[in-house]
Amino acid sequence: MKYYLAIDIGASSGRHIIGWQEDGALRTEEVYRFKNGVTERDGHLTWDIDRLEREVRAGIDTALGRYPRIESLSVDTWGVDYVLLRGDRPVLPCYAYRDSRTEVSIPRVHEIIPFPELYARTGIQFQTFNTIYQLYADKLSGRLEGATGYLMMPEYLMWRLCGGRQESFTGLHEYTIATTTGLVNARTGEFDLEIIRRLGLPEELFTGLSQPGTVVGEYKGIRVVLCPTHDTASAVEGIPMETDAAGSGEGELFLSSGTWSLLGAKLQEAVTTPESLEANFSNEGGVGYIRCLKNIMGMWMVNNLREELCPGEDFSAITESAGASAYQGLVDVTAQRFMAPESMSGEICRALEESGYTAPESPGDYFRCAYRSLARCYGESVRVLEGLTGRRYSKLYIVGGGAKNQYLNRLTEEETGLKVVALPIEATALGNLNSQITAQKSIKCSAAEAVH
């Protein structure tokens, strides 16, 4: 039996999952879980990368305690965030994407390269936290001076496992997560050097991109392999969709429902039309295809409401209270105001009052508003996506924590008009593991060819 280890880290938690193939199916076991979250430092939101590394190593040790022989491991995380490096040392602090430091850099970037041009080149939707704005904020603050490299979060963690030496930067820039930077050309699939030069970013930081399946080193006798390191890219690889990127088969969409909701389709080419720009759709890299998708606030809003209004309450009770409410107010869940408010309930209340709704009177009213607003946004996004792609869709696969929410799934089916297939599976870990298994088969084939 061959065992593989997927290390899947989200904004609120991380998990180590062992996978193996048995009776024609991929079996999994979670062996380690830890909490994650941003920390405030000097008025900024940051990641504690040292603690993350310790948790990653501790989880590997736990996995090895149960499965002494592990063929390979890989790490996936959220996109856009990175660690700057000077030689072998990280430049601290490591800022989190919800930090507000890009407020100054965004207009400066757009003065040099207007956003419509950026979008035409990269296909990446405007988000205040896109890596391009974070790196330009680093330039304005002087943090890029003396920088010898930068690695996206999962790349950094794997680099540390493989020894953390400057000469081993090469090969660690993975394609799927690189596309979340807003610096990869949608047509060539490589870093867009014209953008990088015009912004005056250090060109030497942007080396060639590697595809999932690339072996980058070894840790405790375990091969370290690049999976689709952006967690959404791995999640889509873990969904048993019947439609390929060319559109053959029944029209199908995916929805990765977690802290963020990412709703989209597999396509052969990026959609970078003015209509797509206006709709703020993104074109991120997949494994042999483009994920044309909409980033939506997701369960972030619900989770914040829970912390404020009923800490620790079970979600079944929360959805029951939402279902019992008759509140009709709706908000725009894509609005920047909900990114990191001091009070989510207060911000929702203000948004509702500005739209002419009466204020919610109970926790159930707030949760009903959040769930209905999410479902309404899903429906609107499906209709826009059909217009952008010229296709009709009939099925929506939902994975992630939100797939377990039957109340939201019912609302989503009503708003989208699609058949909802809820898969309460660890789709991200499955995609991570599948890429490792594919890489292992490729290595074996190469070894066999070398013998012959």
Is omega for the bond preceding 93 within 30 degrees of 0, making it cis?
yes
Q: Kindly state the tokens that stand for 212.
A: 């999932």
Which of 231, 314, 332, 365 is catalytic? The answer is 231
Cβ neighbour number for residue 166 with a 10 Å cutoff: 14
Does an H or E element contain 387, and which? helix 363-389
Q: Which long-range contacts (CB under 8 A, 24 or more apart) does 314-321 make?
A: 315/404, 315/405, 318/363, 318/367, 319/367, 319/371, 319/405, 319/406, 319/407, 319/408, 321/362, 321/363, 321/364, 321/367
Beta strands in 207-289 (DSSP E): 215-219, 222-225, 252-257, 261-267, 282-285
Q: Is 231 a catalytic residue?
A: yes
In sequence order, which ranges of 20-168 are alpha helices (DSSP H)? 49-66, 102-112, 115-122, 131-141, 153-161
Closest CA to 213 of 232, 183, 234: 234
List active site positions: 231
